[in-house]
Chain A
Amino acid sequence: EPEVTQTPSHQVTQMGQEVILRCVPISNHLYFYWYRQILGQKVEFLVSFYNNEISEKSEIFDDQFSVERPDGSNFTLKIRSTKLEDSAMYFCASSAASGTGSEKLFFGSGTQLSVL
């Protein structure tokens, strides 16, 4: 089965530093997402992206966050100035379609971000 690939698997950074989390979605997919899970808490939706723009975002996704599809294959999440509370597992996902509420999302294995 095709896979969503995320790099790095672990990222350690100092508070206030910028980080970029990278994802390679499945090649023929059109919809891209970021979710995160803080340790012991629920997996939370951050943002969805389609046709080179954000289609939906959550309250968590504030001005410190941005997403980009720089080259037609990668999908990145940037955190401009990391805070301790940004420490979490970040999951990238992609899907071939959207809008029906029942399509299958394919998730990557996650990037564990630790902010010190």
Chain B
Amino acid sequence: GNSVTQMEGPVTLSEEAFLTINCTYTATGYPSLFWYVQYPGEGLQLLLKATKADDKGSNKGFEATYRKETTSFHLEKGSVQVSDSAVYFCALSGSGTASKLTFGTGTRLQVTL
């Protein structure tokens, strides 16, 4: 079945540091890949997505590239801000099963001044 593995947290960075949160997946067919973010006290929000191999999703300075050869979708940001502190979830949906997202465990990011 489908599965998502993402790096353990928490990740603590200083402001303006470079961020990478690793995500790898196992899936049959051609899944779509997502990063969701959960800010304190809020729901999960879609951060970015990619629907096919070599696509790059980007939003708010975050980027992730769909790498089929390494089955990865690592999240990166060149310069994090305190306001980026949140929990980040990698997820996938299988072809034709759009309602059924498979999530990773989430990675908590804490950015300090």
Q: Are A and B bound to each other? A: yes
Contact A108 B43 (CB under 8 A): yes
Question: Which one, B13-21, B45-53, B68-76, is touching chain A?
Answer: B45-53
Contact B44 A101 (CB under 8 A): no
**8 A Cβ contacts from B65-113 to A:** 89, 91, 93-106
Q: With A43-B106, A91-B43, A99-B96 given, is the CB distance from A105 to B101 under 8 Å?
A: yes
Contact B98 A99 (CB under 8 A): yes
Cβ of A98 within 8 Å of any chain B Cβ, yes or no, is yes
Chain B residues, Cβ within 8 Å of A4:
43
In this complex, how many residues of chain B approach chain A with their Cβ under 8 Å: the count is: 28
| Complex A-B: 24 CB contacts under 8 Å | A3-B43, A31-B99, A33-B99, A40-B105, A42-B104, A43-B91, A43-B101, A45-B99, A48-B100, A56-B97, A56-B99, A58-B100, A91-B43, A99-B96, A101-B93, A101-B94, A101-B98, A102-B32, A102-B49, A105-B101, A107-B43, A108-B43, A109-B42, A109-B43
Other A-B pairs, 10, CB within 8 Å; known A37-B106, A42-B105, A101-B97:
A43-B89, A48-B99, A93-B44, A100-B98, A101-B31, A101-B51, A101-B96, A105-B46, A107-B36, A109-B41
Taking Cβ atoms with an 8 Å cutoff, the residues of B that contact A are: 4, 31-32, 36, 41-46, 49, 51, 89, 91, 93-106
